[in-house]
Structure 1
């Protein structure tokens, strides 16, 4: 019986020791947290700046416009002299002078039909007449019906188209004096005309030339 009591005592002591050890372990151990720490780890943010260079290439095409000016040149007869003219308005400029040398009955130094003037038909003739002779003269364009003047009165040989330095009623006696000038203009239809002084007897003395207006003439000219 004494042995049994000893065994019980030993068991109790052992139990007390185990309890004490357990209590000490519990007392000294750190409490375990049941809440998991929340760790927020964001992935590194990499900002990549891509520099895009947009190159706009503008191609400028240079266009050269070439305007070709075509000039129609007619071959003039030998000895012909081109007259000044304006093709844009179909105008011929005719400069006539009665020179103070040679035959006193002259146009540009010519007489007796020697001077021939050619113009395009239907063009306007502007006449600038100057008298350098010591006696009066005038200038007329006459649509003649005879080959040469054969009357002191030129209207016996045709009809007037233009009077310069006179009138259709005073042409036999009135002209411009030495050093004076006069002008006039007229549209000349196709045909053959005289250029002639109307003062009585001057045409018969040789003061006349020929004016031809033709559709075959493109560049006005004179020949003598």
Structure 2
């Protein structure tokens, strides 16, 4: 006669797994907070300092951008902002090293889009412009797939041309519901910075 796994053992394993997952999420978020305090990659929303310098390396012309989907604040957000209220300014011709961290319970991804419209107005972000880079999904499943809570993903886009872009979640309807940031590449910008309105 074969013996099965006891319900008590199964419950204990489930509790241990849950504790590990929650602990890993908390640790990841604490690491992010420590990193953001050190690099100024995460933007403060205080009105006394409306312009925030981003971490960058002038020797290889790379801007380091970190965007986080937070579980507090607006339902769909990056760094607690929504509907393009965060504007990132970068020098034209530079490289963008973008890190995306998801702290919300829903899956999300991040896309760099050369947009054709002022705001996302379609559930499919590709209807509003050209997707240049996808982070946390592939170019074929960005509408349905993303990274889960506590996960992060990074990507590099080289030689950003002058123009106005979005950084937006590609999952159907998320950008349209406010999950997008404006990115401006200009030859008039010499030091990368962020403004929140």
**TM-score scaled by length of structure 2:** 0.74
Provide Cα deviations, 1:126-179, integer angstroms capped at 9, x if missing partner. 011100000000000000001111100110000111110011110000000000
Matched with 1:220 is: 192
- Is the Cα–Cα contact under 8 Å of residues 98 and 104 in structure 1 kept in the other structure? no
Cα distance in 2 for residues equivalent to 1:94 and 1:117 = 9
Given candidates 142, 159, 174, the residue that maps to 2:130 is 159
Q: SS of the residue aligned with 1:222?
A: strand
1:105 aligns with 2:112: no
Q: Work out which of the two has the higher radius of gyration on C-alpha atoms and give 1 or 2.
A: 1
Matched with 2:106 is: 135
Shift of 1:104: 2.1
Give ranges in structure 2 of 5+ residues lacking alignment.
1-48
Q: SS of the residue aligned with 1:140?
A: strand
Cα distance in 1 for residues equivalent to 2:139 and 2:85 = 25
Matched with 2:21 is: none
RMSD: 1.1
Given candidates 168, 178, 182, the residue that maps to 1:206 is 178
Given candidates 79, 93, 105, the residue that maps to 2:50 is 79
**TM-score scaled by length of structure 1:** 0.65
Cα distance in 1 for residues equivalent to 2:50 and 2:125 = 30
1:193 aligns with 2:144: no
1:122 aligns with 2:93: yes
Matched with 2:11 is: none
Give ranges in structure 1 of 5+ residues lacking alignment.
1-77
Query: Is the strand fraction higher in 1 or 2?
Result: 2
Cα distance in 2 for residues equivalent to 1:114 and 1:167 = 27
